[in-house]
A and B are shown apart, each in its own frame.
Chain A
Amino acid sequence: MFKKLIDNSAARSPWLFHINAGSCNGCDIELVALLTPRYDVERLGFKLAGTPRHADIVVVTGPVTAQSKDRVLRTIAQVPDPKVIVTLGSCPRSCNVFRGSYSVVGPLDKYVPIDVSIAGCTPKPEAIIDGLALATQILKEKRGAK
């Protein structure tokens, strides 16, 4: 009886977990800007989770650096399935200007499949909202398939 209610509520309120994989902080600031009164994504149900174990959507920023690679993969592994991996900005998608650096071992799709990529350097907060809406849709599809 409660299962349906819980599932319905969970689908409407996906929790985010943000991983910084060596980002320049530009994308991180834009993600945090989403939680400010001006954009306020909490009205759409998104909430920044404190631990990966509570999250539904993982938002990764930054090209994956050699130092962060192990931590990123371990953190993503802790997120329960079904999960959606969102890349924010150009870096996790292609390493952007950091490609070829001795300390960068990305891009992220070498290690985990990327579900949604939001392009921009950095993306506009509105574009991030678009991306998260798409991520929610994918999450719903994944849950339905399960």
Chain B
Amino acid sequence: MLPFIKEAVTGLFSKPSTEAYPFKPVEAPAGYRGRIVFHADQCISCGMCERVCAGGAITTHSEETEEGTLVTRRFFLGSCTFCGHCAAFCVKHAIELSQDYHMVARTEEELVVSGSYLKKKPAKKAEAACAAPEESTVKPREDGLPVNDTSKCVYCTLCAKKCPAGALTVDRKAKTWVLDEDKCIACGTCHDVCPKKAIIM
């Protein structure tokens, strides 16, 4: 009898175990994966999110306009598993899963998160490319070995990876490009693979 009385008395004065939810807002715990937030301005349209999405919730629609291609990425939360793969695979961190869990809708459109951005036509890029050769001040070496134009180099390390002789050492963090002249066979592979055309031969 006594233990029950003790229980009843403590129960009488303790806080109720029921959450007063609709009257008192509750925040999702840290790390909760809720409504998707898409930062369209950071997207580079690599399409990785679409490829890794298990539920097929992500679709892309592109429209040709005068200024360029208007790309619209659409996230349908009604088909989402909130696994966070899209956010994890996004190299530009353009996708974020927020703490917002209030995803209640009457229509399908209310469950859609979308963002669009303009992919400009390469006309401007072509202009830049035309102007680039004039800017280049680095002159090719007379002995035929490669030279790096440091103003263009992005230190992607692609040249070092492709070098058949292992003559190049590129450090992405320290931003150094070092050529071992004894090892270099002047094959021109680095010049060919350079995405920025920074290597001059």
A residues apposed to B, CB below 8 Å = 37-40, 43-44, 90, 93-97, 99, 115-121, 123-127, 129-131, 133-134, 138
Contacts and interface: CB of A to CB of B under 8 A. Distances in A.
Contacts of B76: 94
Given A94-B79, A97-B54, A123 B22 contact: no
Given A39-B21, A90-B55, A121 B106 contact: no
A93 B21 contact: no
B81 interface: yes
Contact of A96 (B18, B79, B101, B108): B79
B103 A118 contact: yes
A30 B159 CA distance: 54
A129 B32 CA distance: 18
B115 interface: no
Contacts, number: 90
Contact of A117 (B28, B55, B78, B80): B78
Interface string B93-119: 000000001111110100100000000
Main secondary structure on B side of the interface with A: loop
B56 interface: yes
By Cβ-Cβ distance, the 9 closest A-B pairs, closest first, are A119-B103, A94-B79, A93-B78, A119-B77, A121-B81, A131-B104, A124-B101, A40-B18, A130-B104
Interface of B: 17-19, 21-22, 26, 28, 32, 34, 54-57, 76-82, 101-106, 108, 111
Nearest to A127: B101
Contacts of A94: 55, 57, 76, 78-79
Contact of A121 (B18, B82, B104, B108): B82
Nearest to A115: B106
Contacts of B79: 90, 93-96, 99
B104 A118 contact: yes
A97 B17 contact: no
12 contacts: A37-B18, A38-B17, A90-B78, A93-B79, A97-B54, A97-B55, A118-B104, A124-B101, A125-B21, A127-B102, A130-B22, A134-B104
